[in-house]
Structure 1
Amino acid sequence: MNSGTGTITAGIDGSRASLDAADWAAREAGRRRLPLRLLHADIRHRVPARVPDVDVPAGCTRSALDRAAVQLSYAHPALDIAGRDTETPAVTALLAAAGESETLVLGSRGRTGHTALAGFLPGSVALAVAAAAACPVVLVRAGELPGDERESTLVGTSPSAAPYLPVVLGLDLEYPADDLIGYAVEAAAVRSAPLLVVHAWTPRAYDRRAPAVPSDGDAHDQEATRRRALTGTLRSWRHKFPETPVSEQVVHGDPGDHLLKASTGAGLLVVGRRAGERLGRAARTVIQQVACPVAVVPHG
């Protein structure tokens, strides 16, 4: 995984969805004490950016990048915000930015007629970038609000004072990459939130001798073995982050389905992608259907 240069980058296209994603990125930058960089790749509205610029005279036309920066600077006055406008095609520009960022944040377009259940359309810019970026890419659904990542509060209580919802990590024990686990643990730590690590397994597709459904004895033995392996994999991370509660879940069945269930009530879902490979089936499933932001983390 690319170590980045200590910045959070958000892609801006002028849509409401991208502004929601940029606001999530601003909150994440604040949590991690990093600067926020905005990137606007839209050849139709190329205007030199002044970021942030809250003193533009009334009636002066601002670019989408300027408008986003002004809104974010009001909402996050202590945050270091800068931006860049480019004529480079969006996917190319965003992939280049990923090589210079710690995290890249993008918004969804949503599914027509299902705004409340917006996912990420296959073939969209967000999906294409998540499948090839050198750094973690966080995909934020349209309509995501600050309160959505925190527990419900009593009437009259400030949502910003509520605890964060859990972070969920989907982990394949064949590739328990430190980059992937580290991202999830750190995400939970900066939120003072618990981390749930989910490992879902099925018999290997290429092993024709493995039954589609293991016998009770086989399933019990394999599950016990995987539980021990998962506990061992996470042991050093528990020592490194002693104040972050880490729980484990080992289940038999389709990883995508189990991750969707586990992410119900989560504030962030983290999944991996092997560097140089396309998104796996489980990652595609959760990207298209999950209700919370999802981070796709490349690893070796």
Structure 2
Amino acid sequence: MQRLVDLGDPAAAALTNPRVTFFELPTGHWPMLSQPAELADVLLRAAAGEGRRLRPARDGAPPAHLRPFPLDVPELPRDRRGHVDLYVPDAAGPRPAVIFVHGGPVPAGARPKPRDWPTLVGYARLAAAEGVIGVTLDHRLHDVADYERAAADVTAAVELVRSDPRVDAGRIALWFFSAGGLLAADWLTEPPAWLRCLAASYPILAPLPNWGLTGSRFHPVGAVAHAGSLPVVLLRAGRESPEIAATVEAFVTAAEDGGAHLELIDVPNGRHGFETLDAPEEVRPALRHAVRSVVAHLTGEPGSATLRTG
């Protein structure tokens, strides 16, 4: 809920009233039946004014997604094409491209839009500093029911990027973040020949139980067995929430069992969204390592199929 407030969701803004407080119970839709004693305790505490309160948007420090990127990157201008921005290095000839796919859900009215967030822009400019084209985009994952149209938006963005004459259409990488990780499933199931690498940062790699996506195609844990020789680079947060960490571990197990080319890059003390949440000295080595590994796969330099690093 705090994230929705930080993203500028008008519906969530009313919940920042100091009289509104929040509690969590590890139960389902009928807590009066499954946890009656615990629910009674929560009601008594709520009546006493206890509970967690939400911080109004932009109250003091900026929200995490608008904090500065932890690495110094060149101030390359963006080239905006529809829902896609390209950051093009000063290099001759068509260049490989890395397309960065944001997570969500992000409210439709959130401003700035994800492709303008410092983290996404930072990654794109960092890729450009390594000699490839960095790409950010906006997709319409506004709710967990929106994965179908978000996937269509990503496909359209890929086609737009590959049609650009400055892009080497045969050398593309896709990089997914957070809940955008579920969108990786299509590309793992049938990797096209031009997809040279797939990367993910603190991703959700299987639908969470209450998302209503059971049986959907958006299930990277099940898809990775079909990845074949596609290199997969995964940045794993050591302090990830348990429910998300469980999807990552299931993915790692499925990848290893299926013989996928998985490279694990750990940020041991990193949290979900570690680029702007944790100490820069903690995350900088992992970011540099991951970007250079993806670029190496794009440019044809030899790399390790499986690497675990702290």
TM normalised by structure 2 equals 0.26
